[in-house]
């Protein structure tokens, strides 16, 4: 299927908001919106393994569309995982029931040279993601934009060294302190792979990109400045440069450095980083984030995912508070991290509709003044 002649986009609210334009209401999507909290996704998982879904464009497309059919969301995010990059570099990744992803971890810094395939053909390895994106972009029929994504180099490195999620990330942080040279070598390899991967996602049809640095909060400001930020900046600028060179339109880019409040001022320097949107976790106040961003980027977030356990009236009120505090301009509503599997579709519906309802009302008030 051709990656050109896509259906005309009818709801571009999120793209407008990302670029700082005023919108009639605040756009909203949910991190991990296609996942196990949906009965139809659990049903799909009974018949297919996680990576089979990722690797089969028709199934990845189907999973991506599930939340779009149910809720009034303003964006779709392609069904995939950040760990497809380590896989493409030759590291085995398994999805283990009730554990999550388990990788064949790098046991020593020497293994960066011996086990990480730095010359791997990323576009060939990950062609299934591009095919899924092109198919999904057509299947969305222009209803909402399609977001492509990748893991940030430090977060990917953390999984490659730890082998799975960790409470302390002490193994990977040991590398940063004891083996900075090999750490930078690995981060460089990952950065190159991510730039190629994101550029090709846009070529295939992604209309917006997000980089997930979910483990950023484990780094303090000094280590973030050395081991994460420079690579995030290389990605922001590298993807833009590639797109320009190919004559492709640039797309809005979002960075999510979870728990890295200390870096918010630097991450909000759009001219330097290349990111139009900074996504926030729930532990920072809107007012503080707005002051640090200083009008330079759009903010995304940041309701505590656990607010979805509230009753529906309380949830509606919490959303109202969030939209009132962030304001309706330069804001994309989301959770402060991914939704959990035991949350209900009903609460997602309430969340999404409350964002639209309250932001429309707030905009109406403003217009009538």
Q: Annotated active-site positions, please? A: 32, 36, 45, 81, 159
**Considering beta carbons, is residue 36 or 115 the nearer one to ligand 1CP?**
36
- Residue 204 CB, shortest distance to ligand 1CP, in Å, is 16
List Cβ neighbours of 204 (8 Å cut-off, separation of 6 or more).
Answer: 3, 129, 130, 131, 133, 134, 137, 148
Among 36, 48, 290, 329, indicate the residue that binds ligand 1CP (CB under 6 A): 36
**Contact predicate 144/73, CB 8 Å:** yes
Tell me the backbone φ, ψ of residue 95, rounded to 5 degrees. -100, 115
- Residue 245 CB, shortest distance to ligand 1CP, in Å, is 27
Q: Which stretch binds ligand 1CP (CB under 6 A): 31-39, 134-142, 184-192, 281-289?
A: 31-39
List 255's β-bridge partners, or say none.
211, 278
Measured CA distances, 159 to 19, 101, 193 (Å): 32, 9, 16
Crossing angle (nearest 10°) for helices 170-178 and 180-204 = 120
Among 27, 101, 205, 336, indicate the residue that binds ligand 1CP (CB under 6 A): 101
Give kind and range of the element (H or E) at residue 124.
Answer: helix 122-125
**Contact predicate 66/48, CB 8 Å:** no
Q: Does 214 bind ligand 1CP (CB under 6 A)?
A: yes
Q: Which stretch binds ligand 1CP (CB under 6 A): 95-103, 137-145, 243-251, 326-334?
A: 95-103
Among 165, 180, 192, 345, indicate the residue that binds ligand 1CP (CB under 6 A): 165
Tokens encoding 7: 């259906």
Q: Does 205 bind ligand 1CP (CB under 6 A)?
A: no
Among 6, 16, 20, 45, indicate the residue that binds ligand 1CP (CB under 6 A): 45
Residues 282-341 that bind ligand 1CP (CB under 6 A): 338
**Considering beta carbons, is residue 26 or 68 the nearer one to ligand 1CP?**
68
Q: Which stretch binds ligand 1CP (CB under 6 A): 26-34, 137-145, 184-192, 320-328?
A: 26-34
Q: Is 51 helix (H, G, I), strand (E, B) or coil?
A: helix
Q: Does 345 bind ligand 1CP (CB under 6 A)?
A: no
Among 9, 59, 95, 118, indicate the residue that binds ligand 1CP (CB under 6 A): 95
Closest by alpha carbon to 209, among 265, 153, 152, 160? 152
- Residue 14 CB, shortest distance to ligand 1CP, in Å, is 14
**Considering beta carbons, is residue 27 or 296 the nearer one to ligand 1CP?**
27
Q: Does 243 bind ligand 1CP (CB under 6 A)?
A: no
Closest by alpha carbon to 69, among 260, 269, 349? 349
Cα separation, 327 vs 62, whole angstroms: 34
- Residue 190 CB, shortest distance to ligand 1CP, in Å, is 14
Cα separation, 272 vs 344, whole angstroms: 40
- Residue 244 CB, shortest distance to ligand 1CP, in Å, is 26
Cα separation, 201 vs 247, whole angstroms: 15
What dihedral angle (degrees, nearest 10) is formed by the CA atoms of 25, 26, 29, 30?
-130
**Considering beta carbons, is residue 214 or 347 the nearer one to ligand 1CP?**
214
Q: Are strands 253-257 and 208-213 parallel, antiparallel or unpaired?
A: parallel
**Considering beta carbons, is residue 296 or 351 the nearer one to ligand 1CP?**
351
- Residue 22 CB, shortest distance to ligand 1CP, in Å, is 27
Residue with the shortest CB distance to ligand 1CP: 165
**Contact predicate 339/33, CB 8 Å:** yes
Dihedral sign (CA 243, 248, 254, 256): negative
Q: What's the residue count for the chain? A: 369
Q: Which stretch binds ligand 1CP (CB under 6 A): 73-81, 124-132, 172-180, 261-269?
A: 73-81
Q: Does 252 bind ligand 1CP (CB under 6 A)?
A: no
**Which residues sit at the interface with ligand 1CP, rule CB under 6 A?**
31-36, 45, 50, 77, 79, 81-83, 95, 100-101, 149, 165, 212, 214, 338
């Amino acid at each position: 299927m051709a990656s050109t002649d896509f259906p005309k986009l009818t709801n571009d609210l999120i793209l407008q908001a990302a670029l700082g334009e005023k919108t009639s209401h605040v756009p909203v999507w949910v991190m991990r919106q296609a996942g196990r909290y949906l009965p139809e996704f659990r049903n799909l998982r009974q018949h297919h393994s996680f990576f089979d879904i990722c690797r089969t464009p028709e199934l990845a497309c189907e999973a991506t569309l599930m939340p779009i059919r149910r809720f009034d969301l303003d964006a779709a995010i392609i069904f995939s995982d950040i760990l497809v990059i380590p896989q493409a570099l030759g590291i085995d990744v398994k999805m283990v029931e009730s554990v999550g992803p388990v990788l064949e971890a790098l046991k020593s810094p020497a293994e960066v040279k011996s086990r990480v395939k730095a010359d791997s053909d990323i576009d060939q390895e990950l062609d299934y993601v591009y095919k899924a994106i092109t198919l999904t972009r057509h299947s969305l029929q222009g209803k909402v934009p399609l977001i492509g994504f990748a893991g940030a180099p430090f977060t990917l490195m953390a999984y490659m060294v730890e082998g799975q999620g960790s409470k302390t990330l002490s193994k990977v942080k040991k590398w940063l302190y004891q083996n900075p040279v090999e750490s930078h070598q690995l981060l460089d390899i990952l950065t190159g792979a991510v730039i190629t991967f994101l550029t090709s996602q846009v070529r295939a049809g992604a209309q917006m990109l997000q980089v997930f640095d979910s483990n950023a909060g484990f780094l303090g400001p000094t280590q973030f400045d050395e081991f994460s930020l420079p690579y995030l900046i290389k990605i922001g600028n590298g993807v833009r440069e590639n797109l320009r060179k190919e004559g492709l339109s640039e797309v809005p880019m979002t960075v999510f450095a979870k728990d890295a409040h200390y870096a918010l001022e630097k991450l909000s320097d759009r001219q330097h980083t290349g990111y139009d949107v900074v996504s926030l976790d729930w532990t920072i106040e809107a007012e503080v984030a707005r002051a640090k961003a200083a009008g330079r980027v759009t903010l995304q977030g940041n309701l505590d995912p656990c607010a979805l356990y509230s009753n529906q009236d309380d949830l509606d009120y919490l959303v109202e508070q969030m939209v009132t505090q962030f304001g309706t301009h330069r804001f994309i509503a989301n959770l402060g991290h991914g939704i959990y599997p035991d949350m209900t579709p009903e609460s997602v519906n309430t969340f999404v509709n409350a964002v639209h309802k309250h932001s429309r009302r707030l905009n109406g008030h403003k217009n009538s003044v």
